[in-house]
Structure 1
Amino acid sequence: MLLCAWAAAHLEMEPQVRTVLFATGTLFSYLFSAFLPLAAYPTSQAPHWRIGAKLYLGLTLVATALFITIAFIFRWEAKRKTVENTEESAEEDQRSSVS
């Protein structure tokens, strides 16, 4: 849900891109939910699965790193836009004072 909220906030001017991202995100989410447990927890290894918990822990760490990276990128982008906007407004102020 966090990725959907970020995409909605940062892609408000790109409805087609947002639609494709939501659709592919939903598709991969359903595929992971349907098939990953079958591979991670095979019934032949029950109740001592070899890979299940390790796989899910690894995916959780990757997702956490991805979320943190995306958060830093969005903060950097917001700062960059703020600087650009202040520079543009300063230039406009200079132009209007000269005229």
Structure 2
Amino acid sequence: MTLGKVFKDKELVFTTKTGKPIFPRHLTIQFNEAIQTAEVPKIRFHDVRHTHATLCLEAGMSLKEVQDRLVHSSIKTTGDVYATVTKNEREIH
């Protein structure tokens, strides 16, 4: 908004400062820099998706809602990958 007409909103999640698509490699570089700055354990960018899904399930979101968020074509994929993780995590803690 501060850039006014310079920013072209294309409804993308990750963009350059002017709204253009960001190259995946550049996003990975920025993500890794943020991890170093925050001094947290290194993870892959894709792991953020897994973390989000797991946290949604642990917070009580239905498997169907998580499937919709992740745009999985089959709820079986969501359940096989994420529901098992949350069940195991609960048993550990």
Superposition TM-score, scaled by structure 2 size: 0.26
Higher RCO by CA contacts (8 Å cutoff, separation 6 or greater): 2
Which structure has more helix as a fraction of its residues? 1
Structure showing greater radius of gyration is 1
